[in-house]
Amino acid sequence: MKIGLFGGSFDPIHIGHLIIANFSLEEFSLDKVFFIPANASPFKTEYLFSPVCRLEMVRLAVKDNEKFEVSDFEITKGGVSYTITTVEYFENLLPDSQIFLIVGQDSAESLHLWKDSKKIVEKVNVVVYPRVINGEFKKFKVPEPLKEYEDKFHILNTPYVDISSTLIRERLMSRKSIRYLVPKEVLDYISKHFIDSYF
């Protein structure tokens, strides 16, 4: 079995996340992609939505795809979410699986700063979705401390979708529409539970 692990804040999840997951699924012949909302990232301290709300929005976003699954492991575990802990959890959960870790290019280029980074790369293949600057894909460079694992990094062939959770949060705070940027179920959830209360 080949599985993709797609972790992140998902604050909130948007269509770009779904496109990346779907292209990873196809390009690497994955049997399943697990979306894993972080409880608290080591590199992020502020969130617009609570862990429970982010988890629910991810569930709503992926519910119509049988090859997408949501894991509440990091949120249920609590505390800071470390990738190595999550990878080892899935190793034990699905012991015969080949693991593909789906990350953005900026994260991949700083992966050597993650806890037990070499141990992570020894256990997984890293699927890198590229960053675009001025309309062109940025060339990816494996971090120097991880050069010996260069063959474990794979660039995802994906269309350029210039959508981010940051953009969506900014639009929400400015009372601008996020229609078509997030799945309809996520838009409905935010509209029902948050628009009048917080924005």
Cα–Cα nearest to 4, from 53, 55, 70: 70
CA distances from 51 to 9, 56, 67, 155, 161 (A): 9, 9, 23, 29, 25
For the stretch 17-52, pLDDT in tens is: 999 999 999 999 999 999 999 999 888 878 999 999
Torsion of CA 187, 192, 198, 199, to 10 degrees: 50
Q: Which of 55-69, 76-90, 161-175 bottoms out in mean pLDDT, i.e. has the lowest?
A: 161-175
Identify whether the C-beta of residue 132 lies closer than 8 Å to the C-beta of residue 138: yes
**CB of 178 closer than 8 Å to CB of 15:** no
List the domain boundaries for the chain: 2-161
pLDDT in tens, 137-177: 788 999 999 999 999 999 999 888 889 999 999 999 888 89
DSSP 160: -
Q: Which CATH superfamily hosts domain 2-161?
A: HUPs (3.40.50.620)
* pTM (global) more than 0.75: yes
